[in-house]
Each structure stands twice: as structure tokens, then as C-alpha cells.
């Protein structure tokens, strides 16, 4: 049987109001069924810009966040994306995504049983674009 794809869109601003931009590490008071986190550094006009990238599943809820941590003017963002792909209990593939001006973007989705991957994109105001993908283990 072929899995159906059902998009689930969450508004980044609403999600940002209800969850942190990045999660604390598992074992630090929270337990996650799946947890992925990394920090990436991109050099923009000679300045090291640090991006925090997180995705996780806790029960049936999945989250992803992309956050520019460096406040330097060279690290100013034009657009920041966070997106999720996950499986539902019926075997369907669902997705959720958010788009914000920055410095961060947060998205969440529900009815998940497995977090497949998350994608994180930052478009800098000065022009460069970077994209990272976190795949659940």
C-alpha cells in the first residue's frame, strides 16, 4: 500500500509563542522519543554566524527550529525556514513548515509516530543561503 502525503502547516509565530526556539538536551529534565540538534557556523562577510538547528519528537508531537544565534549585523537574516517530515500512525507521510524573517523559525506538527527528517534554511540579508537536513536515527 502506498503512503499518502498530507501537508500540515503550522504558523511559525503561533508555534514560537508556545515552544522554545531550541530544546534542552535530552536527559536535562526532558525526555524525547527522538532528538536531533547541531550548531553550524557560516562565515558571512568575515563574521562567523552560528545557527542552532533542532528537531525532536515527544509523544505524538514533532518540532523543528532554526535559529541564528549571532547578533552581528553581518548575520542578519532575510528569511529563516524550518520544516518537518514525519509519519502518522496510519503510515501516512505528513509535513509541516514555517517561514519567518528571523532570527528564528519554529514549526510543530501532531499525530506523529516517527520523525523522518527536518530541513533548515537561512537566507542572509547580504545574500548567502545555507540549508541543512537532520535525519532521525
pTM of the model: 0.79
Q: Which residues have CB under 8 Å from 95's CB, separation 6+? A: 5, 7, 8, 83, 84, 85, 86, 109
Q: Which of 83, 128, 75 is nearest to 103 (CA)?
A: 75
Please tell me whether residue 69 adopts helix, strand or coil conformation.
coil
Enter the DSSP assignment of 25.
P
Task: Give the model's pLDDT for residue 127.
Answer: 86
**Residue in the structure block whose three cell numbers are 557560516:** 42
Q: Residue ranges of the domains in the chain?
A: 5-135
Grouped pLDDT means (10 residues each) for the chain, 137 residues? 40 37 49 96 97 97 98 98 96 96 97 97 96 90
H or E segment to which residue 90 belongs: none
Task: Give the model's pLDDT for residue 136.
Answer: 79
Q: In 10 A of CB 6, how many CB atoms?
A: 12
Amino acid at each position: 500500500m502506498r503512503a499518502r502525503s498530507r501537508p500540515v502547516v503550522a504558523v511559525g509565530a503561533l508555534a514560537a509563542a508556545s515552544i522554545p526556539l531550541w530544546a534542552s538536551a535530552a536527559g536535562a529534565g526532558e525526555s524525547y522519543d527522538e532528538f536531533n540538534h547541531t550548531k553550524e557556523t557560516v562565515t558571512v562577510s568575515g563574521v562567523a554566524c552560528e545557527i542552532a538547528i533542532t528537531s525532536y519528537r515527544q509523544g505524538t508531537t514533532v518540532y523543528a527550529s532554526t535559529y541564528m544565534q549571532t547578533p552581528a549585523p553581518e548575520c542578519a537574516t532575510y528569511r529563516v525556514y524550518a520544516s518537518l517530515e514525519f509519519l502518522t500512525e496510519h503510515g501516512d507521510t505528513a509535513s509541516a513548515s514555517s517561514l519567518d524573517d528571523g532570527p528564528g523559525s519554529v514549526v510543530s506538527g501532531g499525530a506523529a509516530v516517527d520523525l523522518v527528517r527536518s530541513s533548515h534554511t537561512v537566507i542572509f540579508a547580504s545574500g548567502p543561503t545555507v540549508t541543512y537536513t537532520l535525519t532521525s536515527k
